[in-house]
Structure 1
Amino acid sequence: MGDLAFEPPRGGPTLWEIGIPDRSAAEFYIPDPDPNYINKLYVNHPDRFRQYGLWARYTDLYPDGDLVYTVGVSDYKTDWFFAQVTRKKDDDKYEGTTWQIKFNLETVNQTGTYKLRIALATAYVAELQVRVNNQNSNPPLFTTGLIGHDNTITRHGIHGIYRLYSIDVNGALLMEGENTIFLTQPMSSSALQGLMYDYIRLEAPPPNNSTKKI
């Protein structure tokens, strides 16, 4: 057959990226475990994600509001929680979560198509909804529908079945200055529902598209 060369999909220049495209969430922020559940085998161990109950630490770190990541300011190694899970409420029930990615654009090609690449390292009975500059838009720009039975979160893993989504973002949805992408995981019947990201990238329209400044 000869040599087979894989070329990752790309529509245009990279505007920003989060993570490392290696099909794992290991590069993101993994919190210290609850002192009541420390597994001494994994103290000072590179596989920090092996500690029990790390999903519950999201509620400890974000009790009232969700993660907000600002491109150019935040660092995915310390500011991007390794799993988008549910939040436990005071009545011991759970609620879905919406993460935000904030970024600035100096110019916008309103007639062009931007490309948002979202690679997931794993998912468990979850859904990912994507919205741009309007958290309440209905329907969302994109949804995965219900996905995943990997059990990665439950089993203290860091990757499962890989999924890649390439989402068209019409330039008319963007604006000069600050923009926000909303990532919502609404499924919330248990503590273990959620997903892990591998890598996220926003691409500008191909260079042959003219840029219209607004």
Structure 2
Amino acid sequence: MKNITCQQLLNIETISDAFKNNKIPLSEKIISCFYSCYQSLFIKWAKIMYGHYSPDVIAFAANDSFTDGVLKLQEAASRGKLYQSNASVKTVLFHYCRYKLLAQLKDEERLAGKNKKLALFLSGQTMYSTETENEMQEKRHELIMRALEKMTAEDRQIIQWRHIEEKTPDEIAALLAIKVPSATNRIYRCMERLRKLVEEMDER
């Protein structure tokens, strides 16, 4: 394992086999290769493509989106649904990362819009908005809360750090005193357990 290079690991077949068959040491090595080979390249690409955003905003969003893209690729590979074509691993990974980045940038725009509305409200102008209840979202939320109750305290803590407190894998790794690839793997496994519990409850 120690003598295997990133160049040897970063191919669709090896990645699919590692994640689908839950080969943890190999999976963590692959994730480490993703970060060492592609993270800075993706951030650089994002700054060029979305230069109309401030450098700090795009750097933060791209870094976070890269992690989400790695998790998405890992999820697809573990289910045997990794994008199959002649495309390189970099192309496939960047496809997932770009999708996440666009979603984050849209969130930034929505947040900016909310801040403008808040500023108008605080300045004394009246604003009205209508909200419609979404029964499916409420049901989903209830299922997630019930599923979380069935998970271990450690799993709930990791999910809270990542998705409530929005800590990065680097921060979670520091809190758990483990390496970043291991933390990324832990986050993924927690979310997989949560997803399966929600699906089981939804089928009842």
How does the TM-score come out when normalised to structure 1?
0.27
Of Structure 1 and Structure 2, the greater helix share is in 2
Q: Flag the structure with more relative contact order, 1 or 2, with Cα contacts below 8 A and sequence separation at least 6.
A: 1
Of Structure 1 and Structure 2, the greater strand share is in 1
